[in-house]
Structure 1
Amino acid sequence: MDQQDVESGYASATDSSPSSSVASLPRITLTKAHLDHLNAQFENMEAMDILRVCKVMFPNLYQSTAFGLTGLVTLDMLSKLQTESPTSSPVDLIFLDTLYHFQETHDLVARTQARYPNVRLHIYKPYGVSTTEEFAARYGEKLYETESELYDWTAKVEPLQRAYEELKVAAVLTGRRRSQGGSRDKMPIVEVDGERGVIKINPLARWTFQQVREYVAQHDVPYNALLDRGYKSVGDWHSTSPVAEGEDERAGRWKGQQKTECGIHNKKSRYAQYLQELAQKEKLAAAAEALNVVQQSETVSAA
């Protein structure tokens, strides 16, 4: 199914393209009318109720999280729902360890596991490596500076697609919110990621940063110590900085770059676009070389 089909009325959570690494995922199909109906209903529902419905409605439901504040709120809500209905299917976590997270983030992961011991955590790292040193040796020193698109693909996009394939993920909960700005300001609560073959659900899409912080304080949810040092959105240490008063919540991510996403949440990852452009350049170069060979042959023949 191509992207036009997804946008025009028939949305499937299985990408049938031969290049997809998630072609074996369980199939969830939503017509555009069904998708619109779900989003219209979810707009008037509390986040906890959205999660209740999603747990019943979507098979092979997971939560993808970098242990940001919104994801932690979602995790806490899911924990409460599991207590309400202990026989229901639990929602496992997927965490992408890029190998460049802050130590504070790793500390938070440990504290979260201690707080929610019944939640299963699946950790995925860049292919074939387990340490920063191994990453640099295999993929290049400071790849995040020299080839940022390749870095995003290697450290984030490919591991996530591998997780989706190995875990047979059909639907995934995210911690994205409209108030984070950028391309997120108009996102629906439920959407189809046709490139990766999953249904993507943003249960706290309507929440503000203040609402998230209030929930964390009220329910004593563990959070990243960096938030108390001026960070509002925490990613890799090499591309995350504190946020100044009055700046957008995600202003500290990739500061000074024309970039707001790492490729995971784009409709089509920037690295995929980069590969297309590279392939096109290679075709043009090959055509130019072939023309040059023909011209040289004609010159020799004329002589």
Structure 2
Amino acid sequence: MNLVAIDTLHLFPTTLECAKLVEEKYAKKAMWKMPKGITTKDEFIAKYGDCEELDSADFDFVSKVEPFQRALEECEKDILITGRRMDQAAQRIKLDVWEEQKRTLNPMANFSWQDIIDYVDKEFSLWGCPDRDGRAEGVPVNAGHNWAFRCDAPIEATSRHLPDLPWTKVDLGKPFWRCTDAEIKGSPAAPITYVFKSFGDMHTTVPVEPHESERAGRFVRQAKTECGIHTRTTFAGAPHGGSLVDLMVKDAATIQSLTASTVKAIELNERQ
């Protein structure tokens, strides 16, 4: 069995650290893939351009889709096991645990966010004593979940990726879901507090309020809710499964009404 990991060269440092902990805990080295022919972010910019200037579809292809396809070909993939869940995005509402045509197993398809953290906490309670390196045993958790961002007023999600924002970053010392509301907000209580519930690329991932969906902080400033790996492939037998939901409006009157109320239109390229 092969463990595949894709480094887009734009991931959070804590994501890479967590991946190393996974390799160590399960004594399994991952097959790491990066954008073809490069190994650093500077090389990525020199070859493809800055991520903020690249078309998002092009960024997805060179940083995720192509490396992932290359990995599957090299390991001669038969069955693919994913961590995808139906509740992560509307496009996954029909995701099956087993997809025969694509030979893809989605064991957590029916898990909710609460199921995930309950499982992690159960493992932590069983193996909660720190190991010799000071880390807690159990399922490795991204250390970025320990951060809280306290501020006096809301900050638009489309701006939360920017540097030098008017908030105070605090290390809670444990994942935010193991903290009380008072611990997250601090004393005196901050009017607004954000936490990271999910991690993708740094330029499209932002912290959200604890009650918000984990996906509310993903693909920010982009007109999509899915990583390119999940929805774009160039060969039969898509690497990730899930039946896309057809949300296209069919009623002529509704189409006319929606068109009349449009305030902005965008053109999609052939990959979108």
TM-score interval, normalised by the smaller of the two chains: 0.5 to 0.7
1:109 corresponds to which of 19, 22, 42 = 19
> 5 Å matches for 1:1-303?
91-117=1-27, 119-142=28-51, 144-191=52-99, 198-219=102-123, 220-229=138-147, 230-266=195-231, 274-275=269-270
Distance 1:138 1:256 in 2: 23
Secondary structure in structure 2 of the residue aligned to 1:95? strand
Report the AA paired with residue 260 of structure 1: T
Is the CA contact 2:56–2:222 (under 8 Å) kept in the aligned structure 1? no
Q: CA offset at residue 108 of structure 1?
A: 0.9
Unmatched tracts of structure 1, length 5 or more:
1-90, 278-303
Q: CA offset at residue 103 of structure 1?
A: 0.6
Is the CA contact 2:2–2:75 (under 8 Å) kept in the aligned structure 1? no
What number of residue pairs does the alignment pair up?
178
Distance 1:133 1:192 in 2: 41
Secondary structure in structure 1 of the residue aligned to 2:115? helix
Distance 1:275 1:190 in 2: 30
TM-score, structure 2 normalization: 0.61
Among all aligned residue pairs of Structure 1 and Structure 2, give the percentage whose two residues are the same amino acid.
38
Report the AA paired with residue 203 of structure 1: P
Distance 2:226 2:271 in 1: 19
CA RMSD in angstroms, aligned pairs only: 2.1
Distance 2:50 2:17 in 1: 25
Deviates more, 1:97-106 or 1:180-189: 180-189
Q: CA offset at residue 136 of structure 1?
A: 0.6
Is the CA contact 1:181–1:248 (under 8 Å) kept in the aligned structure 2? no
Is the CA contact 1:124–1:163 (under 8 Å) kept in the aligned structure 2? yes
Secondary structure in structure 1 of the residue aligned to 2:229? coil
Q: CA offset at residue 256 of structure 1?
A: 3.5
Report the AA paired with residue 101 of structure 1: L
Is the CA contact 2:204–2:221 (under 8 Å) kept in the aligned structure 1? no
Distance 1:134 1:145 in 2: 15
Q: Which has the higher helix share?
A: 1
